[in-house]
């Protein structure tokens, strides 16, 4: 049996790969790290471990900064639960992210999931199938679906609930917040993970709201929380430290700066494509600007003038082509009014082109058509038609021609860097998208352009979709939902075939395009948050190249130049590794308000001097707000940026790497040993073998490769049916007592501990211990061994010995050998029990502290009321003692008596409340102690005699 492994080693390897680990075990996710198709970073493993580090944990908020892979953190947790057969899992996400989750779970973690929407759910219910309970799929649904089916979802005993973009529920403390309150009530009994990059946007009550969804007893009432914490500053160091300490147990946040040493973040670089509009374009701009600024027009009612003029300006900035269609709809609306007397919504003139979601305002009420109005409308129609003809006459637009120049330059630069020839062009106008597609196809990019928008319903998109359906027929990639699948088809087409994707805002929401490193803002949103979202499609975790951001600036338009200057210099959107920081973008409570401020400048300022003064004023206001936000102490509540964090992540990375290497080594040796008579063409270097004959319907024949994604091979992993077959065979194979001879010279790395015992022999007994309580269970091995000359050996000796090759095995009867190892066994069992007890005490201690803090929260406001009344009472008593006027003294005594009575009432209420809270804390503590009382089952795992050659 030279260079083989014994049944004892098989059993040890199989146990190591499959045994039940504690929720707090740092090696808990080793199997997930080994099998996943994506390389994981230590901060992601750290976050996943944090979420349920205690069996008493009800969940966590994972709040890493944008781009750090929160989906992967959730995927690690989901994979481990799936491996433990805890498979009642639901993920609630914004509708636009459903397919992304569906694909990433399968593509990165091999986790099957199903998207539930109203239509598909009806079909499933008609089949009388309870998809929630089948345990074969992770459920993915939108917030709206979860709200609509709340009653049914409450009936399921969920193992885990995940909320993505969880900040949508941050106002749950407000009674009118439907999303937050419905989600909290629906899933109140289950463990939850909340994912959000922005857990704290405006005030601390939002953080209170998110935490209350996970654990309603973490804090007391929102009023008590607000009174204690919402006004804290770093000057109130005790209160600040108290809150930060409490939050550290339920909110986990990693900053991009903390992980830059091992996450290869690429930079973003701005490339400004300046251009000078043609005289015809300048004239058109001036004509339309004057029309937009003119009061009393019928095309732009005063009620919607701010919003409508803003959109028309954006369409005008986008393209003359798009503007011509907008002007046509203005004309049609006024003509319809003349013919029918009905004035249609002015916003309808832009809604079919401009895709960004708007808060629509109602038009003014139509007061009727009289001859004077009719004549005025005729004049306005004629004017608009003239502008429309001007717009239509501009066929080859200056900006479009400069786009060709920009693409040529940046594609050449990317080619030098080895980046793919891909460009993502953003526009806010569907008509501009239409124009650019035609223009680019006629200028060197024929059949290389794909469009992406809210409907994706054009002929080319339909054709791409049909080909995609044919290509992936029968695969999990097809979800069966046309809108979602069509989006995915277009993204795949862009990745594999097209060179340019022209996308609108709403169309591109939620898609990941890390394979593209060139982004073009063909027209510039005025909302900085929207620009950051655009760039984030490409500049995100997984991007391999520096991202170039091309921006167009019309040099002849002073206001446009100042807008770009503001976006670039104040918001730092286009340069550096991280782009705009959370606090800078967060300084704008609403990007829409910022847009309105810019539009006000365009609408009211006519000269360059007026424009300059207005922009200087806006810039000054912004600087003050941004600096105040950066200094804001609230954000530091969630951040722990010190060297300890960075060092801890470095250690995590090293330990995870060692664990994965050991895991893979054990699995490979075990697979070869268990399947030795069933496989051929074993390649130890590339970790492949051939299974000539299918073992079961779900274990097909073919070439298998260990834990690597290879298009032509099956992936050999522990959770694959073949992996499960290997593990179960090894665990079921009897392991008789034996005498085993090991050879240590051929180990991949030198083992000094084993070399020391060359030529020596001894005995070994391995015990299996199951430690368990009501909330957690885990298995451990005790490695007891000694040499024939009586030297007790450390547990590490046997662990390292199991890595060696066995060169000989013979029968051996190990009767009463345990007696020789009693001392080692008892010491290891004592150490294990001590470790388990210490860990349990840590969890229990935190929970008791949490209960005590909750009780203190409960009495905080009543205590303050008592203190205030006592001060008032004492002040009145002092006044009474000093007062010489009998009448006034009597009045003061009457007032003091009332206050004293109120004080006694409040004190009694406070004492009752304190007793009530103390009773609750005592009851919860007793229940907790019982639940966390540990028990132990011990059995002999294997016995053998050893000799090292």
DSSP for 243-256 reads HHHHHTTTEE---G
- How would residue 388 be classed by pLDDT, with cut points 50, 70 and 90? very high
Residue 428's Cβ-side half-sphere holds a number of Cα atoms within 13 Å equal to: 23
pLDDT digits (tens, 9 = 90+) for 120-158: 777 777 766 667 777 788 999 999 999 999 988 988 999
Are the C-beta atoms of 431 and 328 separated by less than 8 Å?
A: no
Tell which wins on pLDDT, 437 or 633. 437
Q: Going by DSSP bridges, is the β-strand pair 688-691/702-706 parallel, antiparallel, or unpaired?
A: antiparallel
At residue 580, does pLDDT exceed 60? Answer: no
- Helices first, then strands: H and E counts in the chain: 32, 23
Residue-level pLDDT at 557: 72
Which strand ranges, in their side-by-side order, compose the sheet holding 518-521?
268-275, 547-554, 518-521, 423-426, 500-503, 449-452
Are the C-beta atoms of 756 and 744 separated by less than 8 Å?
A: no
Tell which wins on pLDDT, 235 or 523. 523
Burial (0-12, 13-18, 19+ Cβ within 10 Å), 584: buried
Burial (0-12, 13-18, 19+ Cβ within 10 Å), 882: exposed
- CA 776/CA 840 separation, integer angstroms: 10
Angle between helices 204-214 and 178-186 (to 10 degrees): 30
Burial (0-12, 13-18, 19+ Cβ within 10 Å), 396: exposed
DSSP 307: H
Distances (CA, A) of 97 to 141, 509, 583: 9, 8, 25
- Helix or strand or coil: residue 214? helix
- How would residue 94 be classed by pLDDT, with cut points 50, 70 and 90? confident
Residue-level pLDDT at 637: 58
Are the C-beta atoms of 740 and 942 separated by less than 8 Å?
A: no
Residue-level pLDDT at 512: 81
- For residue 320 the two structure tokens come to 């003359």
For residues 883-907, one letter each, b for 16 or more C-beta atoms within 10 angstroms of the residue's C-beta and e for the rest, the string is: eeeeeeeeebeeebeebbeebeebe
What is the phi/psi pair of residue 941, to 5°?
-90, -45
Q: Which of 113-117, 175-179, 229-233: highest mean pLDDT?
A: 113-117
**Of residues 42, 59, 60, 55, the one with CA closest to residue 84:** 55
Residue-level pLDDT at 606: 64
pLDDT digits (tens, 9 = 90+) for 188-228: 889 999 998 877 766 778 888 899 899 888 888 888 887 78
- How would residue 633 be classed by pLDDT, with cut points 50, 70 and 90? very low
- How would residue 359 be classed by pLDDT, with cut points 50, 70 and 90? very low
**Of residues 932, 938, 937, the one with CA closest to residue 837:** 932
At residue 569, does pLDDT exceed 80? Answer: no
Burial (0-12, 13-18, 19+ Cβ within 10 Å), 64: buried
Which strand ranges, in their side-by-side order, compose the sheet holding 761-772?
792-793, 777-787, 761-772, 935-948, 738-743, 805-811
Of 206-215, 353-362, 541-550, the poorest mean pLDDT is in 353-362
- Helix or strand or coil: residue 662? helix
At residue 182, does pLDDT exceed 80? Answer: yes
**Of residues 541, 620, 525, the one with CA closest to residue 573:** 525
How big is the CA angle at 209 (ends 205 and 214), to the nearest 5 degrees? 145
- CA 265/CA 262 separation, integer angstroms: 9
Structural domains in the chain plus CATH codes? 41-262 (3.40.50.10810), 397-580 (3.40.50.300), 652-732 (no CATH), 734-949 (no CATH)
- How would residue 672 be classed by pLDDT, with cut points 50, 70 and 90? very high
For residues 530-542, one letter each, b for 16 or more C-beta atoms within 10 angstroms of the residue's C-beta and e for the rest, the string is: bbbbbbbbbbbbe
Q: Which residues are within 8 A (CB) of 682 and not within 5 positions of it... i.e. 6 or more apart?
A: 672, 688, 689
What is the phi/psi pair of residue 160, to 5°?
-160, 145
Distances (CA, A) of 745 to 6, 362, 479, 513, 668: 18, 84, 54, 50, 20
Radius of gyration of the chain (CA): 35
**Average pLDDT of span 97-112:** 84
At residue 763, does pLDDT exceed 90? Answer: yes
At residue 242, does pLDDT exceed 60? Answer: yes
At residue 337, does pLDDT exceed 90? Answer: no
- CA 693/CA 662 separation, integer angstroms: 29
Q: Is the dihedral of CA 938, 939, 942, 944 positive or negative?
A: positive
- CA 8/CA 946 separation, integer angstroms: 12
Residue-level pLDDT at 93: 93
**Average pLDDT of span 805-823:** 88
Are the C-beta atoms of 254 and 65 separated by less than 8 Å?
A: yes
- Helix or strand or coil: residue 784? strand
- CA 799/CA 658 separation, integer angstroms: 14
Torsion from C-alpha of 55, 60, 63, 68, nearest 10 degrees: 40
Give the containing element (helix H, strand E) for 827: helix 822-882
- CA 164/CA 94 separation, integer angstroms: 7
Distances (CA, A) of 165 to 96, 484, 580, 621: 11, 19, 19, 30
Q: Which residues are within 8 A (CB) of 360 and not within 5 positions of it... i.e. 6 or more apart?
A: 307, 345, 347
């Amino acid at each position: 049996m030279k260079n083989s492994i014994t049944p004892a080693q098989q059993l040890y390897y199989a146990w190591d790969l499959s045994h039940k680990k504690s929720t707090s075990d740092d090696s808990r996710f080793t199997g997930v790290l080994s099998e996943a198709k994506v390389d994981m970073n230590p901060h992601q493993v750290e976050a996943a471990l944090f979420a349920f580090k205690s069996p008493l944990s009800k969940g966590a908020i994972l709040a890493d900064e944008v781009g750090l892979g929160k989906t992967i953190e959730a995927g690690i947790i989901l994979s481990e639960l799936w491996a433990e057969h805890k498979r009642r899992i639901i993920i609630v996400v914004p509708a636009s992210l459903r397919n992304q989750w569906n694909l990433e779970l399968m593509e990165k973690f091999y986790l099957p999931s199903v998207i539930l929407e109203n239509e598909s759910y009806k079909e499933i219910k008609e089949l009388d199938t309870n998809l929630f309970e089948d345990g074969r799929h992770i459920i993915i649904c939108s917030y709206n679906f979860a709200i609509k089916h709340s009653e049914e979802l409450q009936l399921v005993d969920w193992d885990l609930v995940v909320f993505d973009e969880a900040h949508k529920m941050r106002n749950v403390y407000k009674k009118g917040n439907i999303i937050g309150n419905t989600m909290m009530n629906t899933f109140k009994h289950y463990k939850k993970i909340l994912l959000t990059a922005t857990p704290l946007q405006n005030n601390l009550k939002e953080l209170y709201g998110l935490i209350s969804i996970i654990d309603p007893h973490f804090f007391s009432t929102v009023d008590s929380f607000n009174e204690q914490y919402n006004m804290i500053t770093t000057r109130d160091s005790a209160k600040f430290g108290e809150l930060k300490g409490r939050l550290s147990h339920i909110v986990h946040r990693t900053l991009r700066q903390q992980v830059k040493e091992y996450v290869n973040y690429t930079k973003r670089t701005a490339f400004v494509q300046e251009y000078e509009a043609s005289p015809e374009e300048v004239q058109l701009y001036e004509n339309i600007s004057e029309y937009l600024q003119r009061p009393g027009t019928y095309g732009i009612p005063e009620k919607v003038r701010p919003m409508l003029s803003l959109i028309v300006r954006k369409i005008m900035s986008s393209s003359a082509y798009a503007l011509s269609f907008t002007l046509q709809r203005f004309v049609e609306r006024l003509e319809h009014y003349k013919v029918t007397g009905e004035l249609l919504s002015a916003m309808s003139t832009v809604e079919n082109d401009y895709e960004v979601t708007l808060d629509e305002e109602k038009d003014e009420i139509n007061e009727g058509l009289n001859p004077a109005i009719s004549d005025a409308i005729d004049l306005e129609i004629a004017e608009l038609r003239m502008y429309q003809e001007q717009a239509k006459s501009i066929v080859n637009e200056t900006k479009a021609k400069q786009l060709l120049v920009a693409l040529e330059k940046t594609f050449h630069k990317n080619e030098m860097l080895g980046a793919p020839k891909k460009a993502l062009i953003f526009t806010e106008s569907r008509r501009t998208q239409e124009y650019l597609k035609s223009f680019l196809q006629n200028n060197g990019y024929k059949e290389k352009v794909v469009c992406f928008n809210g409907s994706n319903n054009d002929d080319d998109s339909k054709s791409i979709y049909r080909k995609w359906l044919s290509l992936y027929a029968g695969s999990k990639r097809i979800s069966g939902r046309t809108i979602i699948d069509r989006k995915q088809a277009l993204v795949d087409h862009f990745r594999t075939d097209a060179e340019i994707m022209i996308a609108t805002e709403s169309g591109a929401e939620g898609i990941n395009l890390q394979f593209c490193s060139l982004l073009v803002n063909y027209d510039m949103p005025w909302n900085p948050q929207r620009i950051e979202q655009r760039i984030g499609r490409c500049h995100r975790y997984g991007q391999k190249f520096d991202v170039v951001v091309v921006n167009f600036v019309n040099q002849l338009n002073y206001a446009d130049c100042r807008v770009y200057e503001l976006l670039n210099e104040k918001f730092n959107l286009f340069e550096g590794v991280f782009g705009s920081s959370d606090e800078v973008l967060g300084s704008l409570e609403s990007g829409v308000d910022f847009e309105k401020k810019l539009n006000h400048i365009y609408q009211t300022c006519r000269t360059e001097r007026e424009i300059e003064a207005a922009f200087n004023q806006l810039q000054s206001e912004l600087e003050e707000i941004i600096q105040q936000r950066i200094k804001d102490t609230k954000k530091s509540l969630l951040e722990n940026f010190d060297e300890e964090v960075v060092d801890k992540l470095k250690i995590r990375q090293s330990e995870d790497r060692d664990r994965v290497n050991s895991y893979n080594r054990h699995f490979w040796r075990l697979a070869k040993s268990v399947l030795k008579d069933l496989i051929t063409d074993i390649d130890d270097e590339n970790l492949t073998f051939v299974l000539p004959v299918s073992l079961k319907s779900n274990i097909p024949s073919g070439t298998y490769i260990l834990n690597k994604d290879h298009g032509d091979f099956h992936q050999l992993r522990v959770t694959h049916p073949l992996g499960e077959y290997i593990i179960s065979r090894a665990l079921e194979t009897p392991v008789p007592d034996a005498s085993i001879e090991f050879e240590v010279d051929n180990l991949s790395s030198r083992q000094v501990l084993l070399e020391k015992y060359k030529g020596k022999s001894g005995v070994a007994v391995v015990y299996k211990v199951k430690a368990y309580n009501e909330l957690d269970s885990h298995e451990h091995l005790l490695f007891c061994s000694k040499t024939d000359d009586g030297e007790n050996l450390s547990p590490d000796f046997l662990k390292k010995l199991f890595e060696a090759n066995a060169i000989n095995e013979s029968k051996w009867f190990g009767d009463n050998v345990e007696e020789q190892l009693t001392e080692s066994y008892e010491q290891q069992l004592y150490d294990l029990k001590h470790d388990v007890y210490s860990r349990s005490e840590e969890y229990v201690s935190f929970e008791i502290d949490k209960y005590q803090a909750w009780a203190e929260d409960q009495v905080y406001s009543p205590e303050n009321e008592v203190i205030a009344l006592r001060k008032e009472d004492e002040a009145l008593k002092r006044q009474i003692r000093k007062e010489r006027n009998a009448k006034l003294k009597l009045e003061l005594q009457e007032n003091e008596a009332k206050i004293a009575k109120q004080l006694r009432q409040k004190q009694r209420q406070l004492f009752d409340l304190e007793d009530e809270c103390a009773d609750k804390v005592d009851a919860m503590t007793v229940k907790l102690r019982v639940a966390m009382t540990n028990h132990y089952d011990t059995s002999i795992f294997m016995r053998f005699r050893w000799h090292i050659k």
